[in-house]
Structure 1
Amino acid sequence: MELTQQHIEEIAEFLECGMVCYFHKPTGEIEWHPDPDIPFFEPEPWEDLFEKIDSDLGNYMRFQQMDSREAFQVMEDFANSLTDVFFREHLLEQLSARKPFQNFKFVIESSKYRQEWFDFRRQAYIEYVRAQI
């Protein structure tokens, strides 16, 4: 089974939430679980899924979330896409300061560009999934 646009969007959504996703090529089923590398990950609830995937690994495509460098690039690309020069410069300053992810989130959350950022990030994740195919 080929990945449809709906599959791509669903995988992008899971990745955006920090999950690791698998697409089962014969059935089109999407499996997901939290990233095992995150602190406090509890593998026990996911053992059956791990066994299921491991027993048929050749039929699964694995999708990973963006690493911090790639996520940073998306934030920088968003800032550079803005026509509001003052807000763009403010965001870029936050990205070059200490704790750029936290700063960016704080500034975006209280801005009129919040939804625009969510849409931009969503599209970036969709493109990221397409690049992994």
Structure 2
Amino acid sequence: MLSLSNQEVDYIASQLLKGMVCFYQIDRKKVHQMPDDEDYFNYDLTEDEEDILDEIEENPDNFAEFTKMEPAQEHQMMQDFIDRKVKERNLAEDLVDALSKPKAATGFKFLIDGSKYKDEWVTYRKSKYHDWVKEQVDSFNYAED
């Protein structure tokens, strides 16, 4: 049964938000992170990262993998933020419009960063990523049963 402390959940959520993928080594209770290869496909792994991947391959049951949200989940999180937090109709309309275009996350971030909601968005997103990490723990534990 995998169980993470609040500090570990916070650390993993922070790493996922930075575009990393995390592996929790169960026997050592240690988090390893490395760039998500979808985002950094030409990134050269360090020797330590290669060693960790070898260990994961040799003993996959000793590691829980944590990944970032899928684009559809990220999109829904942004839409929920608009619906629940943004009170100015013009900004809300601009944000919804940004979500309907290519590079939706970039457009959303540009508009939010220039608004009074920037700090609230950072807090909201981090909170949702905490929940996402906990969901992945539950999935891991369910798969183990």
TM-score by length of 1: 0.89
Give the aligned partner of residue 2 of structure 1.
3
Amino acid at match of 2:104: P
Are 1:42 and 2:43 matched, yes or no?
A: yes
In structure 1, C-alpha distance between the alignment counterparts of 2:133 and 2:34, rounded to whole Å: 16
Q: Percent same amino acid among aligned pairs?
A: 30
In structure 1, C-alpha distance between the alignment counterparts of 2:74 and 2:39, rounded to whole Å: 16
Secondary structure of 2:75's aligned partner: helix
Amino acid at match of 1:60: F
TM-superposition CA deviations, 1:68-112 (whole Å, max 9, x none): 111111111111112333322221122123432221111011111
Give the aligned partner of residue 11 of structure 1.
12
Q: Which structure 1 residue ranges, 4+ long, deviate > 6 Å from structure 2?
A: none
**Structure 1, unaligned runs of 5 or more:** none
The total of aligned residue pairs comes to: 133
Give the aligned partner of residue 67 of structure 1.
70
**Structure 2, unaligned runs of 5 or more:** 138-145
Secondary structure of 1:36's aligned partner: coil
What is the root-mean-square deviation of aligned Cα atoms in Å? 1.7
Secondary structure of 1:116's aligned partner: helix
